[in-house]
Amino acid sequence: MLWIKALHIVFIASWFAGLFYLPRIFVNLAMVAADSQAERDRLLLMARKLYKFMTILAVPALVLGLWLWLGYGIGRGPGQGWMHAKLAIVLLLIGYHHSCGLLLRKFEAGSMQRSHVWFRWFNEVPVLMMLAAVILVVVKPF
């Protein structure tokens, strides 16, 4: 079980690295001048590659988490309300990941209307979700 936990943590940390950095690329894309096609193309290439890579990392992170939950019973039984809250955060993170893909497609289509300020706020969402998930797993407040 400890190997599964260790791998789960590694894949979660790796997935989060992408969740932290891709919106930062979006900030830069939103700031690109209209006449700077080369910069825009370079940032889009980086964003596409990162999105694919973080999607690949998310799969084993989620599978290993399910393995710990269902296979080893971690977070199951009475007094395990923290796990329900953590699973809600995981669902929100999957939605956030998906929304990053939708935003990337809008950038690729040239139809993005949001400002770099909006993306700076959007960039903070995974930080708050990670903070909440770590507190739930370590402190187990309920």
Stated pTM of the model: 0.94
Q: pLDDT, tens digit, for every residue of 79-99?
A: 899 999 999 999 999 999 999
pLDDT tens readout for residues 9-56: 999 999 999 999 999 999 999 999 989 999 999 999 999 999 999 999
Neighbours of 92 (CB within 10 A): 16
Res. 78 pLDDT band, cuts 50 70 90: confident
Please name which of 128, 16, 138, 121 lies closest in space to residue 82, comparing C-alpha atoms: 138
What is the percent of the chain where pLDDT is above 90? 92
